[in-house]
Structures are given as structure tokens and as C-alpha cells.
Structure 1
Amino acid sequence: MGNTYVTDRKYIHRLQSKNAVSEEVLIVTSYDYFLQKYDLAALLKKYREIILIPHSDNDDYLLNHTVRPLLDRFEKIHLVTNPQYDRRNRVIYELVVRKNKSIRITTVYDFCERDLKKVYIPDDVTEINPNLLTIPTFGRRVRYPKKIIDVTISIILFLLTFPIWILSYFRIKFESPGPVFYYQERVGMNNRNFNCIKFRSMRVDAEQNGASFSKKNDSRIFSYGSFMRLTRIDELPQIINIFRRDLSLIGPRPERPVFTETFDEIIPYYNMRHNIKPGITGYAQVMYSYGAGVYDARHKLMYDLYYIKNWTLALELKIILLTAVVIFGKKGR
């Protein structure tokens, strides 16, 4: 049988699976935004059931009348705790131990990194993730192999795609008179601004009313521009930025200053993504679907910080392969 979604009144959200490899139940004490469909689908292969406990103004009723009956059904429980809900954690722990059941406890910070391969970014700006008290910049051990990968792949990519550069030049000129290349100010490493070079995919007057996020089915994009975005052809001129040392092949996508200023104010730890060079593609780009705005920026940051904090050569190569899948699968973001 497949996965089923069940809602108990308005309080508890339960995800059930009969295909799980264990009889363990996963309980998350705060029904938080960090669990996406992709995450839940992966977790349901491991856990028999997932119980998500949302915010409630009546925790006593919630825990004693709604959660307690569910605990009777399981012998092995994995409790993912958020320190913001310390009382909830203690009540659930006491309910489990009192019934002499097996329980293991993981903080949401460790759970995200170990099980979901991303870093937990609090929704509340006052909440502190202890795993992010320090985050590294890339030392020589990382910079040198990245530089070799950047230069080698960029040269190969330029030579292989040179005919596409020529084709794109004439198609853009034919469909939308104006400059072929588009120069846009972006924020790079150490908050230094640079001009990001792309093939122009929008009309020349696309931002006459001010900067705004691009979106799916954007009316400002001409026909070949839409194709370029879908296949990432519009990103090819950023190879020049790599040679200029503005960009790396892999890293957090550079954002525009007007948006970065906003994100810095309302998204905890956002500025940490500027500890390293931004990239043409990145872990967030291949792991998170198309999106724009604060909500999506927060989710992408979870993956960007995981990449910075847990860089390995294997992760670098994985992102390159997943980028190729995105491009050839025409799943452009």
C-alpha cells in the first residue's frame, strides 16, 4: 500500500506508510516549515509513521488527549525536539518512559543535518541554532580542488558550447532587439558586488517598474529566452565570471543587493552564505524547486549552509551530476 495522509481533528498531522523498513514512529514536537514533501517522502521509507505536532494554544489538551493515545500504538519512538517547545518535549518523554517504551531523542538541528542533509534555519529570528555558532570559510584544502574543477570544466564547457553561443547571439537579436548580454549587479563573497553576465532572456524594458523576482510563465520573457532559462543556456556567459574570479562553478546562487538587504534583516544566518564564492549552480538549486521570495530564500539557505559546513569532493561532484540531470531533464529553475 502507498502512503496515506491522515488528520486527527485540527491538531495532529500524521503520515503513515506500510512500506517502512522499521516499526519506529517519528514525532516532531513542532510542526515546522522545514519538512518539505521531498523530506517526508524520504522519511516514510524509514519510519512506520510520522506525527507532526503543530502550534497549539492548548498544549495540555493536545498532549494528553490527542498525542497520548497515539503513543500507545508504538514501542519504538524517535522524538525530534525543538528547544522552543521544551515543556512539550518533557511531557512526551514522561508519557513514553512511564509506559516503559523505547525512545531516542534528537534535536531538530542535528536531525536536519544528519537525516535531511540541510541546516535548520529557525523561523524565529530570536532562536539560535547552536550548530551555526561558527561556520567555516573555505581553506586551501577546499579552494584548490574547487579551483581545478572550476577552470577545467569551464574551459571544456566553453569549447563544447561555443556553437550555442553563436546561435543564441542571432536568436536573441532576431526575437528581441537590444543587447545580447545582460549585466546584473549581484552580491558575491564577503558582500562584494560584481556584474553577473547572462544571455538576455527578457525584454529590454522588463524592469522599468523596478526590480522583481522572475517567476514561472513570466510574461517579460521572450520565446527563445524561455527556452534558454529552461535549459540554463542563459547562464553560459557566467563562465566569464568564473575566469574573472567572481564566481565558482558550485556555490550559493548570488542574489541582487536589493533582495539581499531584505533577506539579511529577516532571515537568520543569511549573511553566512557570503563566506564563500557564489556559484553558477549549487546544492540549493538542485535540491529545491523553483521559488522566489523570503520563504523560498530561507529554504534554499538551509541547503547552501549545509554545503558550506559539510563540503566534500563527493558532494561537489554530486551537485555537478544533479545539475546535468536538471538541464537535460529540462527542469530549469
Structure 2
Amino acid sequence: MKIGDIYTMLSEQQKISFFLPIIDFFVFLLIAFTVRFLKSDLTLFTSTIILFMLLMVVFNFYSARFQNRSTYFISVITLIIVLNICIIILQFSLFERFIYTKTGLLKINGLSLIYLYIRRYLLFIYLKNNRKNIYILSSSGTEKMEYLIKEKASRRNNWYYMGVHKTEDFFTTVRQNLNKEETIVLINNLTSYTEHEQKNILALKMNGYYVHTYADFCELYLNKIAIESINDEWLILSKGFDSIFLSNYSRLKRITDIFLAVIGLTISLPLLLIAAVMIKIDSKGSILFSQTRTGKNGKPFTIYKLRTMRQDAEKDGAKWASQNDSRITPVGNFLRKTRIDEIPQMYNVLIGNMSFIGPRPERPEFDRELSKEIPYYMLRYLIKPGLTGWAQVNYGYGASVEDSKMKLKYDLYYIKNYSFFLDLRIIFKTILIVLFRKGR
């Protein structure tokens, strides 16, 4: 596959997420040359440029969703203020004195401000020139497609939902006014259309229009698998699902898991001791909480966490935890939001029951119920469950069958597109979620 083909397959958000950080890096490097920062100290320069990139992510500068002027102004000013504070802290931590002069800081602030507004203008031009008009060709079962696309288009600056059209009307009237570079045509499985309609759809594809099934659109643009639109044939013929069986990557991931688990448990030991004392003071019961969960290939294992609920939380049987659950103790609520309660699971990672990244392990009794309600549910256990995963960083908390169905869409996307770079994205997004306490 050519590089140009790969670029074309990327969604607008993926292009922005990939290319903008590279551009920002070189622009910030240019700013560093301008203020002669490189002549001062390489350590401070490296720390500052990494910090700048992290802050850009934190303040949502890599989203395809275009901020209005007032929101963008607040984001830019906050970014610059935080950057200055961090630079000052870095200087005193590394050198116990100021390396930057007042003139140097003013140059950094001024040039950064100018660049961020030029960047906003160029992003606006890019999104405007990459407008996507989304049409749905009518067939049985398009109602769910319409709801999803309408909702998603309202949150994308260059997506314009153009409604559901009867195939005959689309090919006789609507098509005449279409710009193929701006048009995405969504269809159901081809079997939903007559032979004549299928030939017209093929003609669209052969003339350079973007034609996607609902399932392919969800994977390509929304980074999830539409489980309601797939079947055995799709699973057999679709690309992906093969990386999980590559022994080299599996070994690398296992080595990484062991290394991170050892480092993580060592560093977090003082935090665990403080948390243990808080749990004992807050409520009666044990400090650690153990529970049976489903592991790789459906094999059960015992998971370990810090206790966050009352000791008698399940006296009436197993229940899903929910937000604002009355069974959660005050200290437990804090531990959950900061994810400190999950630190003991690093032991599960160390002994091989879990990985750092993968689908969250569910309880066997819930799995039995969910596998009856949700098609292909047990495919999520093709790999080891994880501390964090694609579903957790994209969907968050779930406490119902519908939530589990939505999380499965993300879990299957991860399993299908299993890669080192996707793992990196998940780790980075997890760090941001923990730092800003977007708890369960």
C-alpha cells in the first residue's frame, strides 16, 4: 500500500492528531532558536519543549472540533500562563536561578501567541477545504445510522449531515450536484439493496466517491466496531485481528508489562501505605479487595484492588457499581477517581493474569448475562484484560448492558487494530485522564 493511500484512509481527526504535533515541534524549535534558548542549556530546552507539547494536548489543541474565539482565547492565555509557571519551576529545580531573561520570556510569549492564532486560522482553512457531506442511502435499518451520524456531525466542524435519500432519487437528482471530494455515501450491507441499486453504488465507487458501509465508516472515522452491523462473514474477511497472534509482539508486550509493574509497584508503595491507613480509618473491613474476574480465553482469575465499598456491599448479591453508588465510602470515592484503588492490579500484571492495556475484565456472572444479550461479546477475551484500554479512555464508566455494548465496540476496535502505536495512544490518554481526575 502506498503512503498516499494510507493518508487518504485517515480520518480528519487522525490526520490532525498525527501531523499537528510534528508541525508544533518544529515551530517551537524555531522559537527556541529565535530567543537563543539552545545556547543556554540542552536539558532545560528538552524539558520545556516536551512540556509545551503535553500542555497542547491537555488544552485540547489537537481536536478537529473548532473552538469559538472566546473559548480559544481562554485556552491560549491559560496555556501561556501555565507554560511560564512551569518554565520558572523548571529553571529553579534544575539551576536554582533564572536562565531566561525577561526579554527572553516576552519573546517566547509573543511568538507563541502569534503562532497559536496563525495555527487556528490555518486549521480553519484546512477543515473548510476538507468539508465532508454525509449522505445515507435508504434501506432497511438506516434509522440507527441516521441517529449516530446526525449526533456525530453536530460535534465535527467539517461534517455536514445531508439526510437519508432514496437510492433512485439520489442517483437521478442529488448526484448531479455532488463534489466527489466532499461526499461520503453511507450504505448498509449490499444485500439490503436491489441488483440495480448495487450497480449504481458500484458506479459511484468507480467514479471516485467515498462509499462506506456503516461498519467500515465506524471503524475508519469513529475508531470503534459497529457490532450491530457485522456478521461472521465480516469477521472472517476483514483485515485485522492477526496482530494478537504475533508471538514477537506478545513477548515484547509481556516484557514491558513486567518492567512497568515492577517500577509501578516500587514507586507507588508509599502511596499504598497512606491509602491503607485512610481505608482503615474510614470504614470497617479489609484493606484489599479480591474478586473473581474473566481472563484471556475466558479463564477466571482473582483480581486485587484496594477496597472502596462497604464490607457488606454485596450482601444481596452481585451488582454493577454505578456513579454516585451509595455503597462507595468517602475515601473509596477519592481512590476511584484518582485510580489509586487499581494499583494492586499491577500484581496481576506481574504474575501474568492481566496486561497494562486491554479490555477491562468483567465478573463471570455478568459475562454470562452479557454474552446472551450482546453478539460477539466474548471476543473481548481473545487477549489479556488490562488496567486501562481503548474503551476506558474513549467511553469511561459503564454500568448497564447498553454501556457494555458500547464498550465492546471500542474493545473490538483495539483487538482488530492491536499495535504498539495504539498502545502508546492509550497510555498517553490514560495519563491525562488520571491527572484531571476524570474518574469512573
TM-score, structure 1 normalization: 0.80
Q: Which has the higher strand share?
A: 1
Q: Counterpart of 1:277 in 2: which secondary structure?
A: coil
Please state whether the residue corresponding to 2:257 is helix, strand or coil: helix
| Equivalent position of 1:119 in the other structure | 225
- The runs of 5 or more residues in structure 1 that have no matched partner are 4-16, 54-58
Q: Which amino acid aligns with 2:134?
A: L
Q: Which runs of 5+ in 2 are unaligned?
A: 1-64, 68-123
Distance change >3 Å, CA 309–CA 66, structure 1 → 2: closer
Report the CA distance shift for 1:96/1:212 in structure 2 as closer, same or farther (over 3 A).
same
Q: CA deviation at 1:89?
A: 11
Residue of structure 2 equivalent to 1:11: none
1:300 aligns with one of 403, 407, 410: 407
Tell me, yes or no, if structure 1 residue 79 matches structure 2 residue 185.
yes
Of structures 1 and 2, the one with the larger relative CO (CA 8 A, separation 6+) is: 1
Match of 1:181 among 288, 296, 308: 288
- Aligned positions, number: 306
1:27-176 equivalences under 5 Å are: 27-29=135-137, 30-32=142-144, 35=148, 39-40=152-153, 44-47=156-159, 49-51=160-162, 53=164, 74-76=178-180, 77-83=183-189, 86-87=192-193, 103-122=209-228, 128=231, 130-133=233-236, 135-136=241-242, 137-176=244-283
Q: Secondary structure at the match of 1:330?
A: coil
Instruction: State how far apart, in whole Å, the 2-side matches of 1:72 and 1:215 are.
Output: 51
Q: Normalized per residue, which structure has more helix?
A: 2
Q: 1:86: how far off?
A: 2.2
Q: Is residue 309–residue 329 contact of structure 2 (8 Å, CA) maintained in 1?
A: yes
Aligned-pair CA distance for 1:293: 1.3
- Cα deviations by residue, 1:218-237 (Å, 9 ceiling, x for unpaired): 11111110001001011001
Provide the rounded CA distance (Å) in 2 between the counterparts of 1:295 and 1:246. 27
Q: Name the stretch that deviates more: 154-163 or 228-237.
A: 154-163
Classify the secondary structure of the residue corresponding to 1:197.
strand
CA distance in 1, matches of 2:284, 2:195: 62
Structure 1 distance, partners of 2:195, 2:266, is: 57
User: Which residue in 1 is equivalent to 2:349?
Assistant: 242
What RMSD over aligned residues (CA atoms) do the two structures have, in Å? 3.4
C-alpha separation between the residues in 2 aligned to 1:88 and 1:329?
51
Worse-superposed segment, 169-178 or 292-301: 292-301
Larger Rg: 2
Alpha-carbon displacement from aligned partner over 1:268-322 (angstroms, at most 9, x marks no partner): 1111111111111111100113222111111111111111111111111111111
* Identical positions, percent: 33
DSSP 3-state at the match of 2:134: strand
Structure 1 CA distance for aligned equivalents of residues 149 and 353 of structure 2: 32
Cα distance per residue 1:105-129 (max 9 Å; x no partner): 1122222222222222116xxx516
Do the aligned partners of 2:371 and 2:378 also contact (CA within 8 Å) in 1?
Answer: yes
- For 2:331, the equivalent position in structure 1 comes to 224
